[in-house]
Structure 1
């Protein structure tokens, strides 16, 4: 038997002439937490709803634990679903909301009582059985929606941006609780979000989607450190892009001649042939920034044009002598570099990545 809880193979969805999801493929392993991440309109929610059975695919195959569920109705897929707006019945108590699906399945009264109690205990809601949704905070309503899904003992849990309606502080708390609960129960989870921080902090792997297609599937660290495309590099975190051409290559070590004429040394997992037009990628936190001269490879010079204070870090924007804008993040600082200050900027070769130019970039 396959160790994959979900298998998505070439799935697509067409609405008239609009191709909303195109040839999407990925797997979710048993007990794994995988996030679908991308901007609004990229097809991630449509993909999730096709897996759930709420949207009929125009092509491709969907399997849950090896069973073809492509055209089965939702109730026959043995999946739990947590909606973005929680979808709680306002006139029902917490206990009645959690019991709703079990009643539809005609479970016995004793079974429903025990399962509701168990689900509420698991989600930290014991003692809230008789409250109505309007008497709960946003985080508590989210837990009720989760408890309702867990009560059905689903093979797989699907979640559609369940934290998007919460304020930032509560989102951070809830995502930690969700991840701890998922790890404790070893429940296979597929999670939709447009929040990069949320996806990176919670997931074993992330599926990056853009314009209905998959751009990259990888662990969070791999996505951030070795993005496969310019879109992934730009969407996941903040990235500096410098245009150039590969002037020389020795295995993973590359020399990139920038438009300005300066040469950057880079270390890249994926080989790139000399003469290829590329974008050199440097993360802001990998930039060393000094107000005095730095000698060596990969030293650029410029002028600070903006400093932004975020408490734990300072983010600087600098206009290089070439005219390019480059950003740096400094986490341990004693003072702020004033606008107009001349600076020397360095990035080690192992912190410079290279992506070959793509169509339309």
Structure 2
């Protein structure tokens, strides 16, 4: 309880079952004052159900939810002092922008002067000044999203909850809006819990990321830590692109280990304390950590490969290449000046520090 009192939100062993089906299973995490935390995971992982239990729209089957130290596990939504931005914005179609924003304030019995003052404030914060008289159908998707956000902010919530608010926007607008959201959240120092299935959103906006899988938490860490040190095959596969190899440790030295992957493929990797000879491991390698060369240089972890597919993404190029040992390898490079074509032979080089090893008996 002492720990919970220092947090804006504390989710303590929360669970949700529908009959015999467990949707959320023993989930615990915190969101600190002023922090932006994302719940990230694939569809059906339990992230939206978790958010709705925090908001009070869904009652948990077990565990506790505390907001600013108060146990609100079974409190109704209007007693939790949280703002909620829905995926579909949930704007009243017959109400103007101003009427949508002030609706909750009127329900709370605020005076007309206080309502107008708060409306002017959030209209300015969200860039909606001048749009007060428009109906939702007269607004773009980005403007509707701002109205939904302004409506939530008008209630001065202790915590802002957002359920995939950008998923209905096209990519260009989504990128613009996520920057605006993050800038606004930082400026207001607003404690925010944000649900998304978009790894790019989560990594670019969050102070920390809570990754969920099958109703459980798979990892909680800062974005860079999530990406650079995923600690599980699921996290490595879900966040970014990853090459995987099964291997066995065949040599261990002071700062190096050698992993045999198949009959003819070996990698020298930076040694980890838990690695020992004979261990079965899963080797993880990010595609952008691979250096592409046009000729061999007799370097460590230098391999020959043949390009089988080329995907151009503007600032990056992704190659699918086949190693001489037969394994496929995904490579991403920012060197778009390289003029490779399918069936080209290339050489690749990988620094030992860029490999990550997982014990084969662990997830």
Question: Shorter-chain TM-score: what band?
Answer: over 0.9
Where does the alignment leave 5 or more consecutive residues of structure 2 unmatched? none
Match of 1:21 in 2: 24
Alignment of 1:89-104 (within 5 A): 89-104=92-107
Q: 1:122 aligns with which of 110, 122, 125?
A: 125
Q: Matches of 2:264 and 2:7 in 1, distance apart?
A: 50
Aligned 8 A contact 1:81 1:158 in 2: yes
Distance 1:3 1:254 in 2: 44
- 2:338 matched residue in structure 1: 335
Select 1:176's aligned residue among 171, 179, 184.
179
How far residue 252 of structure 1 moved from its aligned partner, in angstroms, is: 6.8
CA deviation profile, 1:81-115 (whole Å, cap 9, x unmatched): 00000000000000000001111111111111111
Residue 226 (structure 2) aligns with: 223
2:295 to 287, 292, 295: 292
The equivalent of 1:346 in structure 2 is 349
TM-score by length of 2: 0.96
1:157 aligns with 2:160: yes
- Kindly indicate whether the alpha-carbon contact (under 8 Å) linking 1:95 and 1:116 is maintained by their aligned counterparts in 2: yes
Q: How much has 1:265 moved relative to structure 2? A: 1.9
- Any conservation in 2 of the 1:247–1:256 contact (CA below 8 Å)? yes
Moved more, 350-359 or 184-193: 350-359
- Structure 2 counterpart SS, 1:46: helix
Alignment correspondent of 1:192:
195
TM-score (norm 1): 0.96
Structure 1, unaligned runs of 5 or more: none
User: Quick one: which of 7, 12, 34 aligns to 1:9?
Assistant: 12
Range moving further from structure 2, 145-154 or 295-304: 295-304
Cα offset, 1:66, TM superposition: 1.2
Tell me the distance in 2 between the aligned counterparts of 1:58 and 1:244. Answer: 42
Q: Which of the residues 36, 41, 55 maps onto 1:38?
A: 41
Query: In structure 2, the residue corresponding to 1:350 is in which secondary structure?
Result: helix
Residue 208 of structure 2 corresponds to residue 205 of structure 1 = yes
Determine if contact 1:200/1:206 at 8 Å carries over to the other structure: yes
2 CA distance for matches of 1:268 and 1:196?
29
The one of 229, 253, 257 equivalent to 1:254 is 257
How far is 1:272 from its partner? 3.3
Per-residue deviation, 1:201: 0.3
> 8 Å contact 2:264–2:325 — kept in the other structure?
no
Q: How does 1:315-334 map to 2 (within 5 A)?
A: 315-334=318-337
222-231 vs 316-325, greater mean Cα deviation: 316-325
- Separation of aligned partners in 2, 1:90 and 1:296: 65
After superposition, what is the alpha-carbon deviation per residue over 1:22-80, rounded to whole angstroms, capped at 9, x for unaligned? 11111111100000000111100000000101001111111111111111111111000
1:281 to 2:284 alignment: yes
